[in-house]
Structure 1
């Protein structure tokens, strides 16, 4: 893969380099570096889970706080890389849209990947909500900290925080001086990564900060040679004749229909840049403003055969659709803080995002080998011709300040989205030159979302060590689909049977309207919180809470509506610190009851046309679990243990569950509205292992020259887990596994630079994150899965100035 650097990127790299030289000459002691920070009092970590800054150990919420230093050492690049650091947190990549879906405490939706669906785990960056799942695949840069709030956060954080919230805090400019950092790394799969940040004090009241990042590596999935697998011409003729064809219409399979060169699947090529500004004309007012650009020119992740064909490498596939991915995102975020007086502050948080994307994906995964150009296999290319999202949001928070008998916050929120998409699915018999099995085109020219909310929360300090908190939020959601149409193949014999082109109107090339998607959803919901917490001595906290969250309903294909889902969470937690704050131990036990849990999947209707269908699971979906985090820090040693147990994760009642990702499901009752389904009532939720444990340990060896050599090991164990609600056996499951990373870093005595080496997935474990099933000619099934990356290794070097 070629290096792709913009002129701006090269220029900024030069600025960072010259700044480093200048700083080295002028300032023998750098302002601040991750390496030079002393042993932290873990009890002093600050978080913003309650929308005010509070110590982590005094915040009665199940929350994981991840520092910039940890993000750097764990090589966190996307949200998916954070999951092992948070109990009960899982992520699944989705190939056809190139997105990542998140699951927390067993609650998530693998198909929350389209213009229709909302995630159960809400993502915020500097307090600004990112409503679309594409955001989870974005490149993280210059992140100061990550806070992951577990359990419903519907009161302060709003809708779509049913299972939890991930809140990223970016690095902010300050006026203290000129400083920054830069690093570069290289590894196998032609990996090259560069990152740089610089803080620029313009005046005593104004500062700027510039951050840039580029990450790229070649694809993990090799191309299989079609000539080694395609049948001979004589075998092709026999299969074609047996299917009813004639020699007059026979043609040999065109091997050039298969891809054997170019960009591979599972490649990364992402760039990001952020320019931030801070203006503080007085102690009473601060304004932080940033513009961020994200560019993705990598490739989607390929689903691989769990049992590869004889003679084929595991990380390979028979590809008949070249991978393609193009995503661009522009985001503006603004926060203004006003200190009205000693007892009251006002904050205004606003954001705007414009996203555009295209992609092409080999949905048949190369599982079936054709017996002729029209038999024995299925060619399916899932193609996003265009996908455009615009959203903006405004939030006003008025809250108390200082020491009060009652701490309170009042807020108002408004957000809007305007989305459009065209998604084509050509499915042909045999190969791309075969006859049409079915093909569809889904064109949604205008889908809008409007959300309005008002909320309030108060904490009464009953005594110095006992507090009672209550809060509520009213939200109204209006969703509209205007002019949306699903087009299906009309099987007109006079129309050439070729895959639909992205630049043609389906009505002109043999398609009929299969679904009219115009619809409007308009409902309101109240969520609430009640919590009691008490100090246990000077360094302990106990809390008990009941909280609710919800995800709005909406419209779907065929213009029908689905209902909102609601979650009630009962939780008891504790937080303790020992050894003068160098040891913390936080735990929580929770029980969740879920109503109208939304499941979405690509489905086939009884008339043979296809669409995306939403089902509300009836009855109560129940989840019960325990989670614990332990952190120990001394002068030379740091240890983290993250544990999660989810012994109960039982789905409610859903008699008719279908998905085109699982071929061979039984025929369904016509009254269900889908062609194939099974009863999944009472099944286990996916991505919810009974037990999960992450252990991270590092030790500083103090060298004679004053430098430090730090080995680090990060290991994760997870028990077996289902990969879908179907619970279809070993192919639909990830067995228990262990996976580990190691690294070694040297910091020079003055902490001006460091150099390191790493190996991730040392054992080269093959860890599934999703599953699908394909029918084979002999009546058996082949399972495919998305996988976490194979073993990777490399070296890196960084400088602070």
Structure 2
């Protein structure tokens, strides 16, 4: 019998039944019906409202959210979601969305380690690790309800917000561009009519941390209001960064450094960027500012116009990966110092700006219906430099096992320029007619992106000693994307306590590349082409041969200098491609308002993420005489196209208030099935005739592996999400959240080991060895297949829990003292589908916990406050991303160590 894709496990169904039974039992005596809630002011855009002041109550305040495009109570919104206020963000020291990781059930965020400054957002184990202008995120990011397409925007500062809303599960009907995993909506505080008030918050802490935010609301009258906000954040690096002057010295192999006129070793690694800089300029520092200017005008009693300009600037050094010293201990690659020590010859540079204009016009057609138009125009520019090798050098045994290769590492990544321009338009008609609440609309996104991105691989394990391994450059001047959609959703209260929801969306996505150029020095027969004719190393083994060193690397050479840094003899591979994808997605839901305080709901929904394609590349370019072994002689091109990703999600949930309004509870059980899941990484596309015979440690040196995206996998996720607040007595607040997630690969027959991890690493780690496929299935030709069925998806810890408690102590003369303590813990999680986890080589992060605390003194009527805080009090060292690299250690992106300080604030 064919199994239904919507079957839930017995465990999941049992949890759902328990939640429903608990809700029914607790509310059996309350029978007052309650229909759907509608925005109280239909002429305004759906706008979240922060909860009212505490006032020592033992019951919690309502939180208003916009997840259905109507303003509704969080506890009467049949969607799995979390709302985080600005007060909570400030208290927890969260300055960008990465700080939400682990704070919300089944939400994980991490820093991209590839020099893109993207943010990896995973909800319920689903994410995207393509942070380039090619990829589409699995989690949609919205600001003021408008979609923001590039993942770098997630670095923007969170300041002066009503709240951040995180929706879990596919958003295939209402929100911006389709997303398969969920949506994050950042909602700025809006200008208030008639008020002239403001506030300031300043903060100082360890590592020379300094932060300030200023807000001024100017209610000119009852029809026009302005609001201005400014925020600045600076912090020195917590790393110990030293300068890299490495020169390989292995006399037993005949490798010694060149000497200068004084007999001192000449560094082999590039010194063109190496400079003495202070801790405030080291990697993992902070140097950002942002401001927002808003205007809100009631043109008439029924028409309101909003206009906002927002600027974000990041001048930090960028984040960098570090060797996992815990795993490396006891191996030849053990760290000589602490976890935070790095040796750098290419200091980090970042110059990223995001300028956004948003506008909206709302017209209250009549008492129940509103027509609204919103638009955003954003320009994101970025220049970034990152040291890719991090100063981690090979040991003698590595070189013995691979004679003739480079005895050192020297790599750097350059985004010399990029400009991403996006336009977003959305037209909505929403309201209520009789017992039907509805929203319908049109959506259009247009992007025009350009980037110059390259890398200098001057020396690494795959290069021949004495010659630069290679340099490449992507010169993309015109990459465009359009996403157009029509959508509608309606909630029909067909009985006093029953509401059915039906929604649909039809999306058409299109992408084009025009005259994109890819340059690669490996396509040239001149092995010294990097030097532009200014230096010739000679031929190894012949008189006069001298391996190059840093003195031969001159300004004007390499990808850092763009097209001018590459030989004019290089012939680019040109991309002129276009693709179109279409999809209808839908949502069906049913909710039962058992009492005014208790709701049960279920939904079945679908999501979709558009397909795409990569840059055109010649599969055979690096083969002997430019030939493949499995194709006729000559070039053979591919742009690695991939198809859309789709998901179907089933949920059951309960939301309500229990025990005399002292406890709020949101509980959701879910099951999702993904098909054609998009996965980005090494893709095997062919087999070349190698220029140098393959070794036993590198049996696939003749296999062509390109970086791209494929639709190889099917997966399934089931889980439970619990969250809410408990108020046992006046002034005491206990917030809690728990997530259970079982996210597994159902099928991936084409998974293959490739250059992400070599066969000798698998052997040393005790993993099954690489075995080349020798069967007749053409889909597995040239692969080294590994069965990963049943493996965990990345960024999907099985259990995660968070609890925080605060109590207000009322002091004399109206002062309030509030201690706050928070703890969170999460289970082990993997960062790749490989699920390799041994004592010294692992792509997992073990389970860990973090404790935060604060003590706040507030003056009467909240006129001023002072607060001392500590984050990560136990100084837990934890990663949010990791990967295994040659020759057999782990690089990871790390969360912050212990941070502490004092913040003060005032209102007027």
TM-score (norm 2): 0.79
Does the alignment pair 1:646 with 2:738? Answer: no
User: How much does 1:630 deviate?
Assistant: 2.1
Counterpart secondary structure, 2:89:
helix
Kindly report the root-mean-square deviation, in angstroms, between the aligned alpha carbons of the 2 structures. 3.0
Does the alignment pair 1:424 with 2:454? Answer: yes
Structure-1 residue corresponding to 2:904: 797
Structure-1 residue corresponding to 2:156: 138
User: How much does 1:205 deviate?
Assistant: 1.1
- Call closer, same or farther: CA 1:576–1:493 in 2, change over 3 Å: closer
Aligned length: 757
Structure-1 residue corresponding to 2:379: 354
- Call closer, same or farther: CA 1:261–1:236 in 2, change over 3 Å: farther
The answer to whether the Cα contact below 8 Å between 1:656 and 1:672 also exists between their aligned partners in 2 is no
- State the distance in 1 between where 2:267 and 2:660 align: 72
Structure-2 residue corresponding to 1:6: none
User: How much does 1:299 deviate?
Assistant: 1.8
- Call closer, same or farther: CA 1:701–1:66 in 2, change over 3 Å: same
User: How much does 1:380 deviate?
Assistant: 1.2
Structure-2 residue corresponding to 1:409: 439
The answer to whether the Cα contact below 8 Å between 1:236 and 1:252 also exists between their aligned partners in 2 is no
- State the distance in 2 between where 1:734 and 1:223 align: 24
- State the distance in 2 between where 1:125 and 1:501 align: 35
Does the alignment pair 1:196 with 2:230? Answer: no
Aligned pairs (5 A) from 1:114-513: 114-224=132-242, 226=244, 235-241=249-255, 252-254=266-268, 257=271, 261-262=277-278, 263-307=281-325, 309-369=334-394, 375-401=406-432, 404-429=434-459, 435-489=467-521, 490-493=524-527, 495-497=529-531, 498=553, 500-505=558-563, 508-509=566-567, 512-513=570-571
Counterpart secondary structure, 1:313:
coil
Report which of the two structures shows the higher radius of gyration computed on alpha carbons. Answer: 2
Return 741-750 or 667-676, whichever deviates more. 667-676
Structure-2 residue corresponding to 1:538: 596
- Call closer, same or farther: CA 1:270–1:82 in 2, change over 3 Å: same
Does the alignment pair 1:79 with 2:97? Answer: yes
The answer to whether the Cα contact below 8 Å between 1:714 and 1:741 also exists between their aligned partners in 2 is yes
User: How much does 1:675 deviate?
Assistant: 8.3
- State the distance in 2 between where 1:192 and 1:696 align: 25
User: How much does 1:429 deviate?
Assistant: 2.0
- Call closer, same or farther: CA 1:771–1:701 in 2, change over 3 Å: same
Aligned pairs (5 A) from 1:639-678: 639-657=734-752, 661-664=756-759, 666=770, 678=786
The answer to whether the Cα contact below 8 Å between 1:603 and 1:658 also exists between their aligned partners in 2 is no
The answer to whether the Cα contact below 8 Å between 1:470 and 1:530 also exists between their aligned partners in 2 is yes
The answer to whether the Cα contact below 8 Å between 2:103 and 2:802 also exists between their aligned partners in 1 is yes
- Call closer, same or farther: CA 1:361–1:153 in 2, change over 3 Å: same
Structure-1 residue corresponding to 2:731: 636
The answer to whether the Cα contact below 8 Å between 1:240 and 1:246 also exists between their aligned partners in 2 is no
Counterpart secondary structure, 2:101:
helix
The answer to whether the Cα contact below 8 Å between 2:640 and 2:708 also exists between their aligned partners in 1 is no
- State the distance in 2 between where 1:749 and 1:36 align: 14
Structure-1 residue corresponding to 2:538: none
Per-residue CA distance 1:742-782 (angstroms, 9 max, x = gap): 11111012321000111111111111111122223xxxx11
Structure-1 residue corresponding to 2:126: 107
The answer to whether the Cα contact below 8 Å between 1:159 and 1:552 also exists between their aligned partners in 2 is no
Structure-2 residue corresponding to 1:617: 712
Structure-1 residue corresponding to 2:5: none
User: How much does 1:335 deviate?
Assistant: 1.8
Structure-1 residue corresponding to 2:889: 782
- Call closer, same or farther: CA 1:674–1:400 in 2, change over 3 Å: farther
TM-score (norm 1): 0.89
- State the distance in 1 between where 2:683 and 2:412 align: 16
Name structure 1 gaps, 5 residues minimum.
1-31
Name structure 2 gaps, 5 residues minimum.
1-49, 329-333, 532-552, 617-638, 689-700, 763-769
Does the alignment pair 1:760 with 2:871? Answer: yes
Does the alignment pair 1:519 with 2:570? Answer: no
The answer to whether the Cα contact below 8 Å between 2:250 and 2:256 also exists between their aligned partners in 1 is no
- State the distance in 2 between where 1:654 and 1:224 align: 45
Counterpart secondary structure, 2:413:
strand
Per-residue CA distance 1:102-142 (angstroms, 9 max, x = gap): 00001112x22111111111011111100010011111111
User: How much does 1:557 deviate?
Assistant: 2.4
